[in-house]
Structure 1
Amino acid sequence: MTSSLDNYYSTNYSKCNLSESFLASWKGVAYPTDIIQIFSLPLQILAFFIILAKSPVQMKSMKWPLFYNHLFCSIFDLILCTFSTIYLILPMLGVFTVGVFSWLGIPIIVELILITCSLLSLALSYIYLFENRSRSVSQNRFKMSKKSSRIKYYSLILLSYTTIFIFLTIIPTDQETAILQALQAYPCPTQEFFTFPILILNSDSTTSMFIIAIFMPIFICHSVGHSVFHVSCTIYYLYIAPSDLISLETQKKQKTFLRNVILQFSIPSIFILFSIGIIFTSRFYSQEMMNLGVDVAGLHGIGESIAVLFVHPPYRRATGQLIFRWKDPQSSIRVSAAQGNSSAFTI
């Protein structure tokens, strides 16, 4: 600590009534997320195997969108839970990390960029997943059949996402002054504020909350809006105005895939929404609630992997046969039919 911070720590900070709870400390985000990742990683690897090796012919068009979505979800979870676990002090937008990268000496700003890029990739993979479903409906007038159109579309989305990096322009260059200003706005942070190499993204609490209140809803609405549009088109052309040229069997399969994809998206999203709710519904700021929000967000990986493995019937059967040794009734029927044909041929 510098002399100014030493003076503040020995005088003003000693008067603070601080929480000594495990959850408020850096261990409250580091240890739970590490444990979560221990359970999440085998499920993620299993989901990769099931998608690549067990996707049936009728899911051919879904195989790679599901793979890319699971890939970017896994990258985000791995970064959040293992490599760049964040400890965020929200009122002053102060942040440091307690993951593997921090012990390797990688700058915090680089880690924040990695976390942001992984989050944007995750959001884009969900848009791609729903856009692919929408494109599979042949009568959809809004589908992008041409590859060039899809490249332009996703390029524009990526370009719009880059505006989130505006936070780089508000980071104070004089961090010592920024830290002292931040302490004026929030005088009693946890002791980690003084013992870890914290980065103040913005020392003005009013500006910080304004940025969060503006950019977070815009980002969420922008990402969700694209997905809602593609889902709405799919629902309209499957349920409201179905084509007479498409067989009922094909329409039934498309409806099933759509419901499964929506459910697959909904299950892990619950953890993210619950995490945001924990952080922003508290009447007063609490570091325990902030850290708990990060821990709950870390459960996204388990929820997403379980959704992939058990939402889609072919993947559910393959997972059951691999782990629980379930018997495939369809396989038994095929074997019985084959035996019957063999007996008839012998006769």
Structure 2
Amino acid sequence: MTLSYVHTPKFVSTSLHIMTCLEVPVHIFGIYIILWKTPESMKSVKWSMFNLHIWSMSLDLTVSLFTSPFVLFPAIAGFPLGLLKEFGVPAAAQAFLVVSIFAGVGVSILAIFENRFYVLFAGNTVWRFIRIPVLFVNYALCFLFFIPPYLTIPEQRVALEEVYRKLPSDLPPSITNGPVFVLATDATYALISIFLITCFIIGEIAMCIFFIWLNTKCLAKRIHLSRTTLKMQRKFLNALHVQMYTPLIILIVPLVYIAYSVYFNVYDQASNNLCLIMISFHGLASTTVMVLIHKSYREACIDIFCIKTQYKTNPIPESRRNSFVTYVPRSKIRDDVIVVSHQITY
């Protein structure tokens, strides 16, 4: 079997370490932007965005730096190349950590949309008493759902023989001589566990989005919200949708390929390696989109990097120079909440 450099563990290790060097400064900058540059207008969503950023950063660094897995799909096997291996952390524990953080990213996306629903519509309902326990249960499930596959890890000698029967017989020594760990010889438990947690989280996200849409529509009809208010609200929610869906798509693409590879027993080591690199790229993309999509963050970046824009100003007519004008700073306008009867609903 003739393999290129892209097929090798060295390619995975080098690529993921380069990704780490790119990710760390960007993630630190993202933390700074969220904590110190979030304006008053986005105060209610600040900590939810910070929570998502931390989970996304954790997934990136776990894949690219701490575990750096070299996977052998369609076999549920591989070996780690990262920092945790140097500290003697078992491969099984590293696999458990990666899939748990994957689920944590999903729940943190759910928390963003739940926060929008709570702030806009449910602040004075019974939901304010149960929202924290519900989110706690979701985060607990992140570290519980993969226990069945973890507890059924097979005896490694027999499992390795079965794995090598699935893979091409002429694999290079760089792969066969590696400390290959087999998580499962039958992917049923792993796939069912991942499928159930995925459906559960996506279902909750879809419910939050639906209730936000339904309540916004009903509220607009009932109290005749102005077009400006609705436009501001939709603009903010659309920005959140773009921020959430862009990294989510980046994660879904490799996951779909992995499911395809396992189900149809397709082995392509180059594709396996590229999937891991794409997964480690998701947090970098998430931070970049967050900074670009929200106007306040974008303007903060322009100020930080000293990009000046010249604006032409029109002179004020003489007849208006002495008139009294009430000026409301843009930072004081809450564009992330619905304004009803001149009162802000928090």
Q: 1:280 to 1:157 in 2, by over 3 A?
A: closer
Distance 2:214 2:126 in 1: 13
Q: Is the 8 A contact 1:96 1:196 kept in 2?
A: yes
Higher relative contact order (CA 8 A, sep 6+): 2
SS at match of 1:299: helix
Partner amino acid, structure 1, of 2:45: M
Match of 2:163 in 1: 182
Match of 2:135 in 1: 154
Query: Per-residue deviation at 1:281?
Result: 5.0
Gaps of 5+ in 2: 325-346
Query: Per-residue deviation at 1:97?
Result: 0.8
Match of 2:333 in 1: none
Query: Per-residue deviation at 1:224?
Result: 1.2
Q: 1:341 to 1:118 in 2, by over 3 A?
A: farther
Q: Is the 8 A contact 1:84 1:97 kept in 2?
A: yes
Gaps of 5+ in 1: 1-17
Q: Does 1:325 align with 2:307?
A: yes
Q: Deviations over 1:173-227 (max 9, x none)?
A: x312221232233353453443222211123xxx22x345433332222211111
Q: 1:193 to 1:143 in 2, by over 3 A?
A: farther
- In structure 1, which of residues 283, 302, 310 is the aligned counterpart of residue 284 of structure 2? 302
Q: 1:238 to 1:52 in 2, by over 3 A?
A: same
Partner amino acid, structure 2, of 1:182: V
Q: Is the 8 A contact 1:140 1:233 kept in 2?
A: no
Match of 1:253 in 2: 232
SS at match of 1:285: coil
Q: 1:153 to 1:317 in 2, by over 3 A?
A: same
Match of 1:20 in 2: 3
Q: Deviations over 1:248-273 (max 9, x none)?
A: 35544332221111100111122212
Q: 1:52 to 1:326 in 2, by over 3 A?
A: farther
- In structure 1, which of residues 73, 88, 110 is the aligned counterpart of residue 93 of structure 2? 110
- In structure 1, which of residues 248, 262, 268 is the aligned counterpart of residue 241 of structure 2? 262
Q: Is the 8 A contact 2:103 2:197 kept in 1?
A: no
Q: 1:158 to 1:124 in 2, by over 3 A?
A: same
Match of 2:207 in 1: 229
SS at match of 1:96: strand
Q: Deviations over 1:108-128 (max 9, x none)?
A: 122222212322221111111
Distance 1:95 1:304 in 2: 27
Q: Is the 8 A contact 1:135 1:143 kept in 2?
A: no
Match of 2:26 in 1: 43
| Off by >4 Å, runs of 4+ in structure 1 | 139-143, 243-247, 280-283
Q: Does 1:168 align with 2:150?
A: yes
Q: Does 1:61 align with 2:68?
A: no
Query: Per-residue deviation at 1:327?
Result: 4.3
Distance 2:123 2:224 in 1: 12
Q: Does 1:127 align with 2:127?
A: no
Distance 2:321 2:72 in 1: 70
Match of 1:314 in 2: 296
Q: Is the 8 A contact 1:36 1:298 kept in 2?
A: yes
Partner amino acid, structure 1, of 2:236: F
Partner amino acid, structure 2, of 1:25: T
Q: Is the 8 A contact 2:6 2:273 kept in 1?
A: yes
Q: RMSD over aligned Cα, in angstroms?
A: 2.9
- In structure 1, which of residues 217, 237, 249 is the aligned counterpart of residue 195 of structure 2? 217
Query: Per-residue deviation at 1:140?
Result: 8.6
Query: Per-residue deviation at 1:302?
Result: 1.7
Q: Deviations over 1:75-134 (max 9, x none)?
A: 111111111111111233112111111133222122222212322221111111110011
Distance 1:170 1:193 in 2: 24
Pick the structure with more helix per residue. 1
Q: 1:62 to 1:159 in 2, by over 3 A?
A: closer
Match of 1:34 in 2: 17
SS at match of 2:74: helix
**TM-score (structure 2 length as normaliser):** 0.80
Q: Is the 8 A contact 2:75 2:166 kept in 1?
A: yes
Match of 2:341 in 1: none
Partner amino acid, structure 2, of 1:40: E
